[in-house]
């Protein structure tokens, strides 16, 4: 079995590693460290929690043992997708390089540019940064990357999900062509493969696990849940989460609870605290100092539940997490692998439980397709009342009501039968008798022009129009010859 002492690492590095309690490298470390020390590009594919950080940190410290950095010109560069992961890399560097004279700088959002500029101006051997903050320093003219000898891209697939690929390509263009590149990812999406083909030269490919596989030490399960109605579903879902936690009992000493939306992170954490479960939220909208304090409390067992968005799914090195609860099915199937990878680390066993509502069933299918396995279905905990747990009561058959008979109304212009005409005759006569002349209206026979009547009203079709009456002028009755003579 390979040991760290067999990997040609610097004695100072080996001393620091021994003090951490590790003497045997993980598969990704054993496969990546040797070619990295030879100066080759490395492409490492491994699921989260397998020790990728040490796989590039240890050879990098050894290779940088000789030489000295100049102001604003770092000798190596490590890119990480999130502040937490970048901070973890910095912690690993401090632990493994404590017997060397190498210096580092951490460039992440939420901290002062002025303080970061002071460190960069002194010259650093290792620059650890998130892509956005690094580009900010480059655009301000505070950094020069032409002296970078080793470049590391960690969690490249997460970079892809977060939209950092254009930034990565821009940063690559500002580094020397002769650099050594160490590229690590948990999955190998087509876009990631395109970048590796562009920026890596004949890399040593180390794939210690099938892409997008989950740790065999993790017991997985999913609960299908449907609320009683749309309005009550969120609160019933939170009640189900508490029931799942209670069902695990003492085995659940701590847990990370993942939500898809930042707003839900705050709501779930508040709900858990309301019912006596010690919880705190962590997501991208919180300032860095608050996030750091929350993580430290969780690591020190002062906090039992960490409610997080996917910002915490990658790179959190908390070995003793017993459970992961997915309050939502992740929108991106790859995130499921990284979320549950927070448990079952360093050879420990873990449990991952997910809640799936009807609208998330398509996302669940994507997850199962990615991991190439069917996640076992779990029953709703006993005593938990939900719409899914209730058995539908048989509906009583409605009593038969007497059918209403309706008299058919003839359509317009439909010819009437003789029987229908005879039947309707009395009603027509009654209607005519009931009709009375309107107020101030004379009978039609009396409407004459001389009486200012409206005898020529064309709306009165069907009535005989009487002539001009007794007031007809005499000249109208005369013949044409009589008019000429006159």
pLDDT tens digits, one per residue of 20-50: 888 899 899 999 999 999 999 999 998 766 7
Q: Does the pLDDT of residue 413 top 80, yes or no? A: no
Spatial distance between the Cα atoms of 177 and 43, rounded to a whole number of angstroms: 17
pLDDT at res. 217: 86
Distance of CA 56 to the CA centre of its chain: 31
Q: Does the pLDDT of residue 373 top 60, yes or no? A: yes
In contact, 241 and 251? CB cutoff 8 Å: no
The helix/strand count (H/E) of the chain reads as 17, 14
pLDDT at res. 414: 52
What SS3 class is residue 327?
Answer: coil
Give which of 27, 163, 82, 29 is closest to 338, Cα–Cα. Answer: 82
Name the DSSP class of 371.
H
Task: Give the CA dihedral 424, 430, 435, 436, nearest 10 degrees.
Answer: 170
pLDDT at res. 415: 54
The correct answer on CATH 3.40.50.300 for the domain covering 218-378 is yes
Q: Does the pLDDT of residue 354 top 60, yes or no? A: yes
Spatial distance between the Cα atoms of 382 and 243, rounded to a whole number of angstroms: 9
What SS3 class is residue 250?
Answer: helix
Other beta carbons within 10 angstroms of residue 475's beta carbon come to: 9
**Phi, psi torsion values for 276, nearest 5 degrees:** 90, 10
Exposed/middle/buried for residue 84 (C-beta within 10 Å: 0-12, 13-18, 19+):
buried
The side-by-side arrangement of strands in the sheet containing 42-45 is 104-107, 126-129, 76-79, 150-153, 180-185, 42-45, 204-207
Q: Does the pLDDT of residue 457 top 50, yes or no? A: no
pLDDT at res. 406: 55
Tell me the pLDDT band of 400, cut-offs 50, 70 and 90. Answer: low
Name the DSSP class of 443.
-
**Could you state, in order of their start, the residue ranges of all structural domains in the chain?**
4-207, 218-378, 441-486
pLDDT at res. 315: 55
First to last CA, the chain: 146
pLDDT tens digits, one per residue of 8-20: 999 999 999 999 8
pLDDT tens digits, one per residue of 236-271: 999 999 999 999 999 999 999 999 998 999 999 999
Q: Which is it for the CA torsion 471, 472, 478, 483, positive or negative?
A: positive
Name the DSSP class of 70.
B
pTM of the model: 0.62
The string over 295-329, giving b where at least 16 C-beta atoms fall within 10 Å of a residue's C-beta and e elsewhere, is beebbeeebbbbbbbbbbbbbbbbeebbbbbbbbb
pLDDT tens digits, one per residue of 172-188: 999 999 999 999 987 78
Tell me the pLDDT band of 289, cut-offs 50, 70 and 90. Answer: confident
Spatial distance between the Cα atoms of 281 and 132, rounded to a whole number of angstroms: 24
pLDDT tens digits, one per residue of 139-157: 999 899 999 999 999 988 8
Least confident piece of the model among 1-5, 203-207, 395-399: 395-399
pLDDT at res. 285: 79
pLDDT at res. 147: 94
- List alpha helices for 123-229, DSSP H: 131-139, 156-161, 165-173, 190-199
> What is the mean predicted confidence (pLDDT) over 118-123?
90
pLDDT at res. 432: 55
Spatial distance between the Cα atoms of 350 and 340, rounded to a whole number of angstroms: 9
Q: Does the pLDDT of residue 389 top 80, yes or no? A: no
Cα–Cα–Cα angle for 468, 475, 467, nearest 5°? 10
What SS3 class is residue 248?
Answer: helix
Tell me the pLDDT band of 209, cut-offs 50, 70 and 90. Answer: low
Cα–Cα–Cα angle for 164, 169, 171, nearest 5°? 95
The correct answer on CATH 3.40.250.10 for the domain covering 4-207 is no
The side-by-side arrangement of strands in the sheet containing 255-258 is 279-282, 305-308, 255-258, 323-326, 350-356, 218-224, 377-378
pLDDT at res. 243: 95
- Which residues, 6 or more positions from 36, have their beta carbon under 8 angstroms from its beta carbon? 42, 55, 56, 59, 60, 63, 180, 182
Mean of the per-residue pLDDT values for the chain? 82
Other beta carbons within 10 angstroms of residue 107's beta carbon come to: 26
Spatial distance between the Cα atoms of 202 and 208, rounded to a whole number of angstroms: 19
Q: Which residue has the higher pLDDT, 128 or 341?
A: 128
pLDDT at res. 456: 47
> What is the mean predicted confidence (pLDDT) over 372-400?
64
Tell me the pLDDT band of 318, cut-offs 50, 70 and 90. Answer: confident
Least confident piece of the model among 201-215, 286-300, 327-341: 201-215
Tell me the pLDDT band of 55, cut-offs 50, 70 and 90. Answer: very high
Other beta carbons within 10 angstroms of residue 358's beta carbon come to: 11
- Same topology, domains 4-207 and 218-378? Answer is yes
Q: Does the pLDDT of residue 395 top 50, yes or no? A: no
Q: Does the pLDDT of residue 422 top 80, yes or no? A: no
Task: Give the CA dihedral 359, 361, 362, 367, nearest 10 degrees.
Answer: 130
């Amino acid at each position: 079995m390979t040991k760290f002492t067999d990997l040609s690492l610097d004695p100072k590095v080996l001393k620091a590693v021994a003090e951490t309690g590790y003497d045997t490298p993980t598969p990704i470390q054993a496969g990546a460290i040797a070619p990295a020390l030879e100066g080759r590009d490395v492409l490492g594919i491994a699921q989260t929690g397998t020790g990728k950080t040490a796989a590039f940190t240890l050879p990098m410290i050894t290779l940088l043992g000789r030489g000295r950095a100049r102001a604003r010109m770092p000798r190596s560069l490590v890119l990480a997708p999130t502040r937490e992961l970048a901070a973890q890399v910095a912690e690993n560097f401090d632990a493994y390089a404590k017997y060397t004279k190498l210096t580092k700088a951490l460039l992440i959002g939420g901290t002062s540019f002025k303080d970061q500029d002071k460190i960069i101006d002194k010259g650093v051997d290792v620059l650890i940064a998130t892509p956005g903050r690094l580009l900010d320093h480059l655009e301000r003219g505070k950094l020069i990357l032409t002296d970078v000898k080793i470049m590391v891209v960690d969690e490249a697939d997460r970079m892809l999900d977060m939209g950092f690929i254009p930034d990565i390509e821009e940063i690559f263009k500002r580094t020397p062509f002769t650099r050594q590149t160490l590229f690590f990812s948990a999955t190998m999406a087509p876009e990631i493969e395109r970048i590796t083909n562009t920026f890596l030269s004949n890399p040593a490919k180390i794939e210690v696990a099938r892409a997008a596989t989950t740790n065999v030490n993790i017991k997985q399960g999913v609960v299908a849940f449907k609320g009683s109605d749309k309005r009550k579903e969120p609160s019933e879902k939170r009640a189900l989460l508490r029931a799942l936690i209670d069902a695990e009992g003492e085995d659940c000493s701590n847990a990370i609870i993942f939500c898809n939306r930042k707003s839900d992170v705050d709501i779930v954490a508040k709900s858990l605290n309301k019912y006596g479960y010690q919880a705190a939220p962590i997501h991208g909208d919180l300032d860095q100092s608050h996030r750091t304090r929350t993580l430290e409390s969780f690591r020190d067992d002062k906090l039992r539940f960490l409610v997080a968005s996917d910002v915490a799914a990658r790179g959190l090195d908390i070995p003793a997490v017993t459970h992961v609860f997915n309050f939502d099915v992740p929108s991106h199937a790859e995130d499921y692998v990284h979320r549950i990878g927070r448990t079952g680390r360093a050879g420990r066993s873990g449990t991952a439980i997910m809640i799936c509502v009807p609208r998330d069933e398509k996302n669940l299918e994507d997850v199962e397709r990615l991991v190439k396995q069917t996640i076992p279905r779990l029953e709703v905990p006993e005593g938990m009342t939900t719409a899914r747990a209730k058995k539908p009561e048989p509906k009583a058959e409605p009593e038969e009501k007497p059918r209403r008979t309706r008299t058919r109304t003839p359509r317009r212009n439909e010819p009437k039968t003789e029987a229908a005409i005879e039947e309707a005759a009395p009603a027509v006569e009654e209607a005519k008798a009931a009709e009375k002349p309107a107020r101030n209206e004379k009978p039609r026979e009396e409407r004459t022009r001389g009486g200012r009547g409206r005898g020529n009203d064309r709306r009165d079709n069907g009535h005989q129009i009487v002539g001009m009456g007794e007031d007809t002028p005499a000249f109208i009755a005369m013949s044409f010859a009589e008019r000429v003579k006159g």
